[in-house]
Amino acid sequence: MKYIVLIICLCNLFSFTVKAKERPTVITAEIFGYQRDKVHFDFIEKEGINMEFPYKDGQLIEFMVELDDITTMILNTFIEVYLQPGDSIHVKVTYNGRNYDKVEFSGTPAAVAVNSKLHEKEILQRQRNYKTNIPAMLVTLVDAKKFHEATLKEWKDEVEMLGQVKDQIDPRVYNMVISGIEGTLLTNLMTYPYASASFHKKKLEDCMTADYWTALDGYKLRDDEASLRSRAYQCMLAPYKDYVRAKEARDAGKEYEPLTSLEEQYKDFVAFYDGSLRDTALFVFLYNSVAAGEDFDVIEKLVKDYLKKYNKNKEYKKILNQVMQ
């Protein structure tokens, strides 16, 4: 399984309308010590509401947005904030050089609880020097076996950390956040040995721990709507399928041969997943195929088959129809 993951971001493309529109979400921010000219607020699941402000040290920034559902806001590229319709959140960020040093939240209690815990998670990763970005790991020569062990610990610890505020937040918010954590960490767990072997010119077996093929035994995929709202979890579905297929081949004493044609890959997604997981996996596969400039005629045929047989989420249908025009 020669798999170095290129996650083609679906950000700012679609939003899910699950609830009736509620009162506006109020966002305020104070930023200190920032070294750039502009402050950016990017909304991942909601199209057309990104905001940009000139930076002035300590100046209060305030604006309102209309959200339809749980939405991830990214402040200045790296600070992740989860919001619901009607939330009020104040973010105070202090930078030390190019990196932020401290983030404080106030406002709606549930929003404060989940985002404070996420910031705590980020600080823990930083203290442990744990990287989630595969290219950064490759160029800094992170050992694949040590990274495997570190990722399993990170997964356990981050789930436990989020569990500390589970009873304070909406269950759907919990599901979306936990799936984001798992989407990132489990993708790295499954794919980094292959990336390391290729980039560092090592034998694949020298990059795998003894428990690589059993690390996800018993893992139950998340198929609820909120979990599948997470971009990281959506993008994990393809490497997870390949991981399981490679394990099946290994257990049968065979060498896994990745599928190459779009038709074969499409059929394998159909066979491997069902229900909402199949709907999401096929949508991401087809969207990424269009973005990668694959054979348009083949994609068009597969999109028609998907929409006729497997599509459940109407936003997926809307987006594919747009990109196929």
Residue 36 C-beta-side C-alpha neighbours within 13 Å: 13
Give me the pLDDT at residue 171, please. 97
Residues 6+ apart with CB under 8 A from 159: 178, 181
| Longest Cα separation, the chain | 63
Closest CA relative to residue 251, chosen from 217, 221, 277, 281: 217
d(CA 115, CA 106): 10
Give me the pLDDT at residue 133, please. 85
What are the extents of the domains in the chain?
Answer: 25-258, 259-325
What CA–CA distances, in Å, run from 77 to 72, 212, 271, 292? 12, 32, 37, 24
Give me the pLDDT at residue 131, please. 83
- Phi, psi of 19, deg, nearest 5: -115, 160
The segments of the chain whose pLDDT lies below 50 read 1-21
Closest CA relative to residue 75, chosen from 117, 31, 134, 20: 31
Determine the angle formed by the axes of helices 171-199 and 144-163, rounding to 10 degrees.
170
Lateral strand order in the sheet of 71-75:
51-54, 38-43, 71-75, 79-83
d(CA 88, CA 108): 5
Question: Scanning the structure block, which residue is given the tokens 């790296």?
Answer: 78
Over residues 241-290, the pLDDT tens digits come to 999 999 999 999 999 999 999 999 999 999 999 999 999 999 999 999 99
Give me the pLDDT at residue 22, please. 60
Give me the pLDDT at residue 2, please. 36
Over residues 195-244, the pLDDT tens digits come to 999 999 999 999 999 999 999 999 999 999 999 999 999 999 999 999 99
